[in-house]
Amino acid sequence: MIRTYKQKNKKTKESPTNTKKINKKRTAKTNKVFEKGKLRVTVVGGAEEVGRNMTMIEYEDDIMIIDMGLQFPEEDMPGIDYIIPNISYLEDKIDRVKGVVITHGHMDHIGGVPHIIGKIGNPPIYTGKLTAGLVAKRCEEHKGCPKLNIVEIDSKKKARVGKNFNVEFLRVNHSIQDSFAVIIHTPVGTVVHTGDFKIDYSPVNDKPADLNRIALLGDKGVLLMMSDSTDSTHPGYQISESTIGEEIDGLLDDIKGRVIIGTFASQLSRLQKLFELAAKHGRRINLQGRSMTTNVEIAHKIGYLKFNPRIIVEDKELGRLPDDKIMILGTGAQGESNAFLVRVVNGEHRSIHMKKGDTVIFSSSVIPGNERSIQALKDQVVRQGAKIIHYQMMDVHAGGHAKAEDLKLMMRLIKPEFFVPIEGNHYLLQAHAELAEQVGIPKEKIFVPDNGQVIKFEKKGRNTSGTMTNEKIPSDYVMVDGLGVGDVYNIVLRDRRVMAEDGMIVIIATIDTKTTNTIGNPDIISRGFVYMKENKKLIEDTRMKVKKIVNDHDSKTPDDDYIKNKIRNEVGKFLFAKTKRRPMVLPVVIKV
């Protein structure tokens, strides 16, 4: 069934008090740049990275969007909270955006919603019941998010998006419930977007995907398939979530102390099994981490997590329970600096401390780039007397993404004419493209796009042609830093990297406006460059260098910018010659 899910009223810049402004935007005249009779498909984000997923489908005067995710910052992005898709292409096309489909509730698919949805006219959002709750909760945390119009969907109904898109929803298995593939019937042909999926014949608290329906869909003819590439380089089949439950069940038979399990807060199928196992083994559950607590609360409220609320124990009650009656579920298995597990091993948690006899289960795989952080975390755990169990030792983690053989099975069932791998770094997309060749899709009908690259389809008589064009829409990073969205650019990141690598030095020169010479010696402040007390000669030489730079210029041209640039350039060269380091030089000129 389809139900409309309305977020609670909330006075914001785009709340009901301003709905007239939103409607005015949505009906505004736009530049008509669409092409008649051509279907345009563009991966706005998620074709060159894991995260920031967003796909745009256009036909004449209709645009629909699939997902609005975020990407977590890379190591060379100090201070950045996360990155969202660039929507500048849509700024003059707001009236053409007819709807948004969110495939499931993970942050790499919903994280950009509060920043984007109001800027594109607040169109209807079609998504599952659990995802609706998670999206609404995320928007409550952002003041600029308008009152959402969420249309709750399931796998039995269809939705009309604009004049040209008839949309169906196919339930698939993933690590979170209410995950859907999207089937879009367009005037040019049918497009299938798989979303994140795996093939699980015995999922936890969910039904297996309807492979018969998928096969029937393939028999009717599919123009284009866009498919999840996250695990395309992993051979074989993804293991079932029920297998993980069996492994952890066996472990709990033998563990006598506290059990601390680190996993993703979004792994709701895993959490359901852990609640069941805790009840079976007579353990109470303590939840740690804001995202963990929020997700469990939302999923339990709508009936997607089933457990007796009395099984949950608060922090203050942990000391009253025997260790063998406690199971702690928390975030931080990736070594994130502020997450629960890291705070525990660092002795920073208000009520939980690691102790001898604890067993820590890392029930998640290693995200590339986190290897060193996780290894450091494991070292600290064992130093404090606890035992570690992780997925390489036993099957205590099942991924949420299809592996190579599952991906090939899905392609064989859907039998698309054209294929576009999505959701992964370029090498993952290329690996998926090679799998498509193995199942018989012609190489010339497999497109591996970059972010923003437009793919076009057009009917020519009985046939349909497809082309990956050279046209690219804006798809560069939009970085979120605190309350700032898109106000941090590459030059700012470069400055942050310079300060992080070589530090900074502030030079304060006081200048007599009459003589244009320095008054006294310049003041110098060093941060992250050198320790001034142990480098007195270098600091003194720098002072003299600055004094000479200021005094050695034509008194007729005492321009502030000229003096600052000269100090910045010459002191930078001087310090590099002395130290082989390039600190950021910040000159301050005071005229008296």
Q: Which pLDDT band, with edges at 50, 70 and 90, does 502 fall under?
A: confident
Residue 247 tokens read as 């492994």
- Residue listed under structure tokens 């590339």: 368
Distance CA 204, CA 533 (A): 62
pLDDT for the residue numbered 302:
85
For the cut 80, the answer to whether the pLDDT of residue 112 exceeds it is: yes
Of 336, 347, 396, 326, which is closest to residue 372 (Cα–Cα)? Answer: 336
pLDDT for the residue numbered 392:
53
pLDDT for the residue numbered 455:
96
Distance CA 241, CA 201 (A): 9
- Residue listed under structure tokens 């997450």: 339
Least confident of 151-155, 186-190, 289-293: 289-293
Q: Examine the residue annotation and report whether 234 is marked as an active-site residue of this protein.
A: no
Please state the φ and ψ torsions of residue 244, each to the nearest 5 degrees. Answer: -60, -40
Determine what percent of the chain is predicted with pLDDT higher than 70: 84
For the cut 60, the answer to whether the pLDDT of residue 246 exceeds it is: yes
Q: Which pLDDT band, with edges at 50, 70 and 90, does 2 fall under?
A: very low
Distance CA 80, CA 584 (A): 20
Determine what percent of the chain is predicted with pLDDT higher than 90: 37
251, containing H or E segment? helix 241-254
Distance CA 301, CA 294 (A): 11
Please state the φ and ψ torsions of residue 63, each to the nearest 5 degrees. Answer: -130, 135
pLDDT for the residue numbered 552:
78
Dihedral angle computed from the Cα positions of residues 208, 212, 216 and 218, in that order, rounded to the nearest 10 degrees: 60
3-class secondary structure, 265? coil
pLDDT for the residue numbered 163:
94
- Of the candidates 108, 178, 200, 228, the residue annotated as catalytic is 228
Q: Examine the residue annotation and report whether 174 is marked as an active-site residue of this protein.
A: no
3-class secondary structure, 559? coil
Q: Which pLDDT band, with edges at 50, 70 and 90, does 30 fall under?
A: very low
Which distant-in-sequence residues (6+ apart) come within 8 Å of 251 by Cβ? 359, 361, 389, 394, 396
Which distant-in-sequence residues (6+ apart) come within 8 Å of 481 by Cβ? 79, 80, 81, 487, 488
Q: What is the mean pLDDT of residues 242-254?
A: 77
Q: Which pLDDT band, with edges at 50, 70 and 90, does 5 fall under?
A: very low
pLDDT for the residue numbered 44:
95
Least confident of 74-83, 92-101, 345-354: 74-83
For the cut 90, the answer to whether the pLDDT of residue 152 exceeds it is: yes
Using DSSP bridges, classify how beta strands 259-262 and 284-288 pair: parallel, antiparallel or unpaired.
Answer: unpaired
pLDDT in tens, 264-273: 787 788 888 8
**Residue 282 vs residues 155, 252, 321, 363, 520: alpha-carbon distances, Å:** 37, 10, 11, 21, 76
pLDDT in tens, 540-591: 888 888 888 888 766 555 577 788 888 888 888 888 888 887 888 888 888 8
- Of the candidates 401, 432, 481, 502, the residue annotated as catalytic is 401
Residue 456 tokens read as 């076009």
Length reported for the chain: 592
Q: Which pLDDT band, with edges at 50, 70 and 90, does 1 fall under?
A: very low
pLDDT for the residue numbered 520:
83
Q: What is the mean pLDDT of residues 232-259?
A: 81
pLDDT in tens, 454-474: 999 999 888 899 999 999 999
Pick the residue with more confidence: 31 or 452?
452
Least confident of 194-198, 301-305, 533-537, 566-570: 533-537
pLDDT for the residue numbered 397:
47
Pick the residue with more confidence: 500 or 102?
102
